[in-house]
């Protein structure tokens, strides 16, 4: 069935018809840029930056700089993070070639090394994560189904590597990749930079637990207010039971997967409510003690209904959290791995920008800020799409619904119980590449917001 759309406004008066994915009448956009700039309508870049405008104006780390103002520096960082430039010099050359204000190389790289600007950037992203814009239209995958988690701030954490910068300093005669630790709020899906890994004389990378121990309690609580506990979902690299016990006294909890070499003594078994559909797939819920007697933990054993594989999860969460919820939470940890895929293959951020620790941290924070602003804009675009089929997320949502339906049918045929949490289509794992490409090009070649949306809908209707 064809989609017919009448594009109106100062940009276009052309009737565009799409039949079976084929554009029969093309809209001529070549004259639109001057009109878009002359009009009062905002551009895509302005829409992208709108959530942080108040934070730019009231940033306590702002300082006056004639050569490269803080606002311009932030815009440059966001454009570079999403722009796929191979180097800082090529990025600045592209900016100049587009007819924009010339940014001297020395000014740009000096700004990347500035600890004051780094604090400015961290303030922007940390404030954005807790802002109203960050929570608007977000799909919390657990809020409605898991009321026992209402007083938990849930964070996903993991390490990630970028290729070493071109002029990286050798450590022990070798050049090592740049390692970061990132965190993601499970509630609203926004990312933040936890820390840059430290390197020693012989250490080519930092262990996750060592990096966590370097953080103060306020960082690990991730902005949790009074009466709110923080739960960290991490892979098996975070296991340190004695440290878990100390952090639990500060309201910080952990959930991970059991290592094969772990040895535990079973102290008791908790009853599993098999009538609760959320607990489907749970085999055991036990209270165990580590072999070194460092700590008493909770171990939940679960069988995946799709593959039949058994998993054992370790946590210091209380037994008021249903075991089916424990298993589902660890499944949600995979979301941060999908974000790393966005960093590398959609943003094109595979190599560190510069050598200094401040520059490396600035890059990580720019990537997080860009991701978060793009995610907020993606939700806005989906909300404003004239038809559901013209949303950039439509195809991914349909595929996700199909996977859920296939899982349900498979379990029904085999008479295998499946948790209701697995049958609820939650938020998308990552932003569609089609949306990222549209955003990048709409920033590179400015045009009005309505024209940009029309172009995106045309791309969504056309099967690229």
String of b and e for 247-270 (b: at least 16 CB within 10 Å)? beeebbbbbbbbeeebebeeeeee
239 and 278: one domain? yes
Q: DSSP of 216-237, one letter per residue?
A: -HHHHHTT--TT-EEEEE--GG
Give a yes or no: residue 346 inside a domain: no
285 and 412: one domain? yes
- pLDDT for 3 beyond 50: no
pTM of the predicted protein model: 0.89
313 and 462: one domain? no
Give a yes or no: residue 155 inside a domain: no
Give a yes or no: residue 313 inside a domain: yes
Domain span at residue 30?
A: 1-42+447-464
Q: What is the pLDDT of residue 356?
A: 93
Percent of the chain with pLDDT over 70: 90
Q: DSSP of 158-201, one letter per residue?
A: EEEEEBPPTTPPPBTTB---EEEEEEEETTT--EEEEEEPP--S
Of residues 16 and 259, more confidently modeled: 259
Contact call for residues 148 and 226 (beta carbons, < 8 A)? no
* pLDDT (tens digit per residue) in 245-286: 999 999 999 999 999 888 899 999 999 999 999 999 999 999
405 and 261: one domain? yes
Number of domains, the chain: 2
Give a yes or no: residue 413 inside a domain: yes
Give a yes or no: residue 262 inside a domain: yes
411 and 458: one domain? no
In the block, which residue shows the tokens 């000096």?
110
Give a yes or no: residue 315 inside a domain: yes
456 and 319: one domain? no
Region 196-200: what's the mean pLDDT?
85
Give a yes or no: residue 114 inside a domain: no
413 and 462: one domain? no
452 and 328: one domain? no
319 and 460: one domain? no
401 and 463: one domain? no
261 and 319: one domain? yes
> Of 322, 326, 206, which is closest to residue 254 (Cα–Cα)?
326
403 and 451: one domain? no
């Amino acid at each position: 069935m064809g989609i017919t759309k009448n594009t109106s406004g100062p940009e276009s008066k052309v009737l565009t018809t799409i039949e079976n994915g084929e554009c029969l009448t093309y809209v001529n956009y070549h004259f639109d840029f001057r009109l878009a700039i002359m009009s009062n309508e905002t551009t895509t870049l302005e829409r992208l930056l709108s959530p942080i405008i108040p934070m730019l104006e009231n940033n306590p780390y702002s300082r006056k700089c004639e050569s490269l103002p803080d606002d311009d520096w932030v815009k440059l960082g966001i454009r570079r993070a999403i722009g796929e430039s191979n180097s800082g010099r090529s990025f600045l050359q592209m900016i100049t070639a587009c007819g924009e204000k010339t940014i001297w190389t020395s000014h740009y790289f000096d700004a990347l090394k500035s600890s004051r600007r780094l604090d400015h950037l961290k303030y922007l992203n940390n404030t954005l994560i807790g802002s109203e814009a960050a929570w608007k239209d977000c799909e919390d995958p657990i809020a409605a189904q898991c009321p026992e988690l209402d007083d938990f701030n849930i964070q996903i954490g993991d390490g990630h590597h970028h290729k070493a910068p071109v002029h990286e300093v050798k450590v022990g005669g070798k050049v090592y990749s740049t390692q970061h630790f990132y965190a993601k709020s499970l509630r609203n899906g926004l990312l933040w930079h936890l820390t840059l890994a430290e390197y020693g004389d012989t250490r080519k990378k930092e262990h996750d637990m060592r990096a966590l121990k370097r953080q103060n309690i306020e960082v690990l609580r991730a902005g949790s207010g009074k009466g709110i506990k923080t739960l960290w979902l991490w892979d098996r690299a975070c296991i340190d039971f004695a440290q878990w016990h100390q952090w639990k006294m500060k309201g910080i909890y952990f959930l991970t997967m059991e290592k094969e070499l772990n040895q535990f003594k079973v102290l008791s078994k908790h009853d599993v409510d098999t009538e609760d559909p959320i607990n489907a797939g749970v085999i055991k819920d036990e209270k165990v003690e580590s072999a070194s007697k460092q700590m008493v933990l909770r171990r939940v054993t679960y069988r995946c209904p799709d593959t039949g594989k058994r998993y054992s999860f370790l946590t210091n969460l209380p037994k008021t959290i249903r075991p089916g919820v424990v298993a589902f939470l660890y499944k949600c940890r995979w979301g941060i791995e999908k974000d790393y895929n966005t960093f590398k293959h959609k943003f094109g951020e595979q190599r560190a920008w510069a050598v200094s620790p401040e520059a490396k941290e600035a890059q990580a924070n720019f990537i997080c800020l860009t991701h978060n602003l793009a995610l907020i804009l993606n939700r806005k675009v989906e909300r404003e799409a004239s038809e559901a089929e013209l949303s950039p997320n439509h195809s991914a949502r349909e595929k996700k619904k199909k996977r859920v339906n296939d899982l349900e049918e498979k379990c029904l045929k085999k008479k295998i119980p499946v948790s209701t949490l697995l049958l609820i289509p939650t938020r998308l794992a990552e932003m569609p590449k089609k949306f990222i490409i549209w955003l990048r090009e709409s920033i590179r070649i400015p045009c009005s917001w309505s024209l940009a949306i029309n172009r995106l809908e045309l791309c969504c209707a056309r099967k690229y």
